[in-house]
Amino acid sequence: MIEPMFKRNTPSDKPSNKADTELLQKGILCALIGLGVLISPYFIKSPGMQSIVANSSLVGWFALVLGCAFIVRYVVRRMGAGPK
Protein backbone atom coordinates (compact mmCIF):
# COMPACT_ATOMS: atom_id res chain seq x y z
CA MET A 1 0.00 0.00 0.00
CA ILE A 2 1.23 3.48 -0.81
CA GLU A 3 1.70 5.73 2.20
CA PRO A 4 0.22 9.23 1.94
CA MET A 5 2.75 12.00 1.66
CA PHE A 6 1.10 14.08 4.38
CA LYS A 7 -0.54 12.62 7.44
CA ARG A 8 -3.91 14.00 8.44
CA ASN A 9 -4.41 15.13 11.96
CA THR A 10 -6.92 12.95 13.72
CA PRO A 11 -8.73 13.73 16.95
CA SER A 12 -6.51 11.20 18.74
CA ASP A 13 -3.44 13.29 17.89
CA LYS A 14 -2.81 15.86 20.59
CA PRO A 15 -0.07 18.19 19.33
CA SER A 16 -0.55 20.65 22.17
CA ASN A 17 0.03 17.98 24.81
CA LYS A 18 3.10 16.75 22.95
CA ALA A 19 4.42 20.29 22.58
CA ASP A 20 3.77 20.98 26.25
CA THR A 21 5.58 17.81 27.26
CA GLU A 22 8.55 18.67 25.06
CA LEU A 23 8.65 22.17 26.52
CA LEU A 24 8.75 20.74 30.04
CA GLN A 25 11.50 18.28 29.07
CA LYS A 26 13.59 21.06 27.53
CA GLY A 27 13.10 23.20 30.62
CA ILE A 28 14.15 20.47 33.02
CA LEU A 29 17.20 19.54 30.94
CA CYS A 30 18.34 23.15 30.55
CA ALA A 31 17.90 23.79 34.27
CA LEU A 32 19.86 20.64 35.16
CA ILE A 33 22.67 21.55 32.76
CA GLY A 34 22.82 25.05 34.22
CA LEU A 35 22.92 23.71 37.78
CA GLY A 36 25.59 21.21 36.76
CA VAL A 37 27.81 23.92 35.30
CA LEU A 38 27.34 26.15 38.35
CA ILE A 39 27.85 23.46 40.99
CA SER A 40 30.54 21.30 39.35
CA PRO A 41 33.56 23.54 40.18
CA TYR A 42 33.06 22.68 43.86
CA PHE A 43 33.46 18.95 43.13
CA ILE A 44 36.34 19.07 40.62
CA LYS A 45 39.70 18.40 42.27
CA SER A 46 42.01 19.64 39.50
CA PRO A 47 42.62 23.39 39.99
CA GLY A 48 43.13 23.97 36.26
CA MET A 49 39.90 22.25 35.28
CA GLN A 50 38.10 23.88 38.19
CA SER A 51 39.03 27.36 36.95
CA ILE A 52 38.00 26.51 33.38
CA VAL A 53 34.55 25.37 34.49
CA ALA A 54 34.24 28.27 36.95
CA ASN A 55 34.93 30.73 34.11
CA SER A 56 31.94 29.35 32.23
CA SER A 57 29.51 30.31 34.99
CA LEU A 58 27.78 32.78 32.64
CA VAL A 59 26.77 29.85 30.44
CA GLY A 60 25.48 28.02 33.51
CA TRP A 61 23.36 30.98 34.58
CA PHE A 62 22.00 31.37 31.05
CA ALA A 63 21.02 27.69 30.87
CA LEU A 64 19.43 27.84 34.32
CA VAL A 65 17.38 30.95 33.50
CA LEU A 66 16.38 29.54 30.11
CA GLY A 67 15.30 26.26 31.71
CA CYS A 68 13.26 28.09 34.33
CA ALA A 69 11.64 30.19 31.59
CA PHE A 70 10.66 27.02 29.72
CA ILE A 71 9.18 25.55 32.89
CA VAL A 72 7.23 28.76 33.62
CA ARG A 73 5.95 28.78 30.03
CA TYR A 74 4.81 25.18 30.47
CA VAL A 75 2.94 26.06 33.66
CA VAL A 76 1.31 29.07 32.00
CA ARG A 77 0.18 26.90 29.07
CA ARG A 78 -1.23 24.25 31.37
CA MET A 79 -3.04 26.81 33.53
CA GLY A 80 -4.47 28.50 30.43
CA ALA A 81 -5.69 25.22 28.98
CA GLY A 82 -8.14 24.71 31.83
CA PRO A 83 -9.82 21.45 32.70
CA LYS A 84 -10.65 19.11 29.83
Within-domain flag for 50: yes
Decide if 71 contacts 27 (C-beta within 8 A): yes
Within-domain flag for 69: yes
Within-domain flag for 31: yes
Domain that holds residue 23: 19-81
What DSSP letter does each residue of 13-30 carry, written as one string? --HHHHHHHHHHHHHHHH
Task: Say if pTM beats, i.e. exceeds, 0.95.
Answer: no
Q: Give the tens place of pLDDT for each residue, 33-82.
A: 999 999 999 999 999 998 888 898 999 999 999 999 999 999 998 888 76
pLDDT confidence of residue 32: 96
Within-domain flag for 55: yes
DSSP reduced 3-state for 77: helix
Domain count, the chain: 1
Above 60 in pLDDT, residue 13?
no
Decide if 67 contacts 30 (C-beta within 8 A): yes
